[in-house]
Each structure stands twice: as structure tokens, then as C-alpha cells.
Amino acid sequence: MSAEAARRAPLMPLRELVRLYRSHANNFGELVVLSVFGLSVPETERVFSGYDEDYHISRFFHFTDSTGEKFSINGIPATHVSLDGEIETIL
């Protein structure tokens, strides 16, 4: 793996991210605070920005900028995320 690929590799596998999301949301589509994923601010920004850059994955992610701790997801402020249930089709 090149240094660039290692730098861009997600810190959290998608399956684990979805599992954590489901542990905090009663249903897909509900907003979850980004800070509940148990990552530092840089890690949170890196994980979600990485998935946001992948078209096949990003279409299932919806970020919201509301009240709470702010994160920069690909340069866009976000505090919460919701996932579409269809994300399970790619796990």
C-alpha cells in the first residue's frame, strides 16, 4: 500500500460504522451526532470525508449542520449524519 493510500484508508470499516450508527439510531434515516462514533475530531473528519468521497457509499450518507460539535466533512461543516437503509446492500 502506498503512503497516499495508507493516508486515505478509512480508520473504521463501513460495516462497523453502520453498526455503530444503528446502535444510536432507532431506524435508518434518523440523525445521529457525529461525536458518538468514539473517534477524535481528526479521525471523525477523516473517516466520514473518506466515505463521502466514494460515490457508491456517499449517496447513503446525509450530513446536517445543526447545534453541537462541528466537524469538517470534505470542507463542509456537519454535526450529524443519517444513513439510508439501502446502505446494507453494499455491506
**pLDDT of 22-75, one tens digit each?**
999 999 999 999 999 999 999 999 999 999 999 999 999 999 999 999 999 999
pLDDT of residue 7: 55
User: Span 6-29, mean pLDDT?
Assistant: 87
Q: For residue 78, how many other CB atoms are within 10 A of its CB?
A: 24
pTM of the model: 0.88
**Looking at the 3D structure of the chain, how many domains does it have?**
1
Output 10 or 30, whichever has higher pLDDT: 30
Check: CB of residue 22 under 8 Å from CB of residue 60: no
Range of the domain at 39: 3-90
Q: Which residues contact 82 (CB under 8 A, 6 or more apart)?
A: 25, 28, 29, 30, 31, 32, 61, 62, 64
